[in-house]
Structure 1
């Protein structure tokens, strides 16, 4: 019998969830490899960009039992599955095994996703929240690749999705508002977050987007881990 595995970039924690509705909660992260988008400002290109990173060393096929054991070290309240794009893995046997192990351990599971892939029923049943980050024009990919309304609708229908738009300007916030309205997203589920991987850039963008976000009726989040540790990996 084959022992379930997943392709992983890194597992780290306990730390804190730095973004969105769970900001500040004690958490561990499982960062899986691979992504179906190519965002120009991506802060984890080592999970997918073979042109600038050696993916043979960055990504490792790892036993699920070992992933779960490492993520549960230090008794975190929350385990976040991130990437890359973690929902690319949901048809792998190891995905179901990982969700089962985390569920048995009694932790909440969050999935960070770009909103282009609908979750399966099995995934939805095991996940406490989907942190959905649809990509705006400044991410660089063509709209038909980065925005998938059917997947957004499926995520919204779970009743467990928070939608998080990465913004640097008022124009970005306005663009996010247009998408949120077109997709029928309740304002209470929409968060706007400044783009940036260092505290100075983050603060500059937060200042630019805060009033527009509030004006549109959105929630606002910073990136707590960046304020604490900058762009240090595995924090």
Structure 2
């Protein structure tokens, strides 16, 4: 189930890639990149246990077996290895699947990738703990904003984060903006969603919950 953004609630299949060029302190998938314990949990994950090399043909077969129209490629940061994705993306779209890529917006998409997918771009705000020069790459954001179907999705703790969102999106040419509450539990999700609602509506943006937390809490998917 796609739990966030413009495809909220749609049945889908996920492929999650390892490795990320950022290290957000609150990352909810640290098992894809945090091998040293630098995140909030302090846990160092074992890449030998978490990452599994597979031929793209095998990945495609597993994804098609879900019989879901929508495929979501997530991470980590998928665009770090985007050219390796091309054969998989061509196969999936050739079989009639719609493919979304979740990206942090720091990597310019290759034309051969951009022609096959649509992007959910989630630029990181200051509360991620990452320096601005690492988390905000104007060239990449502009390239993504120019593509049809791109949506921008920002994790916010409360209304105080929205000014930073406005500063970033002012340069994105009117691409749709979705605000999503920071949360790892149902209680935190409800609290932050309620705190954000009126302020998001007043700015003319879209508001998304995190449906997977409402349904499954902080349980890791399999």
SS of alignment partner, residue 172 of structure 1: helix
Aligned to 2:92: 102
Residue 220 of structure 2 is matched in structure 1 by: 233
The superposition leaves residues 91-139 of structure 1 with CA deviations (integer Å, 9 ceiling, x where unpaired) of 33xx111111101211100000000001111001110x20000000001
- Of 99, 110, 119, which aligns to 2:109? 119
Separation in structure 1 between the aligned mates of residue 5 and residue 90 of structure 2, nearest angstrom:
25
For 2:93 and 2:116, locate their aligned partners in 1 and report how far apart those are by CA, in whole Å: 7
Contact 2:141 2:172 in 1 (8 A): no
Over 6 Å off, 4+ runs? none
SS at the partner of 2:54? strand
**Quick check: 133-142 or 157-166, which moved more?**
157-166
Partner of 2:39: none
**1:160 CA displacement:** 2.3
* 8 A Cα contact 2:103 2:120, kept in partner: yes
Kindly indicate whether the alpha-carbon contact (under 8 Å) linking 2:17 and 2:32 is maintained by their aligned counterparts in 1: yes
Retained in 2: the 8 A contact 1:28–1:76?
A: yes
C-alpha RMSD of the superposition: 1.1
Match of 1:19 in 2: 4
Q: For 1:191, which of 159, 170, 178 is the aligned residue? A: 178
Cα distance in 1 between the residues matched to 2:138 and 2:149: 17
- Distance in 2 (alpha carbons) for counterparts of 1:114 and 1:107: 23
Task: Name the structure with the higher strand share.
Answer: 1
TM-score under structure 2 length normalisation? 0.94
Tell me how far 1:152 sits from its aligned partner. Answer: 0.3
Task: Give the Cα–Cα distance (whole angstroms) in 2 for the partners of residues 204 and 173 of structure 1.
Answer: 16
* Separation in 2, partners of 1:160, 1:122: 16
1:25 and 1:77 in contact (8 A); partners too: no
Unmatched 5+ stretches in structure 1? 1-15
1:213 paired residue among 170, 176, 200: 200
- CA deviation after TM superposition for structure 1 residue 179, in Å: 1.3
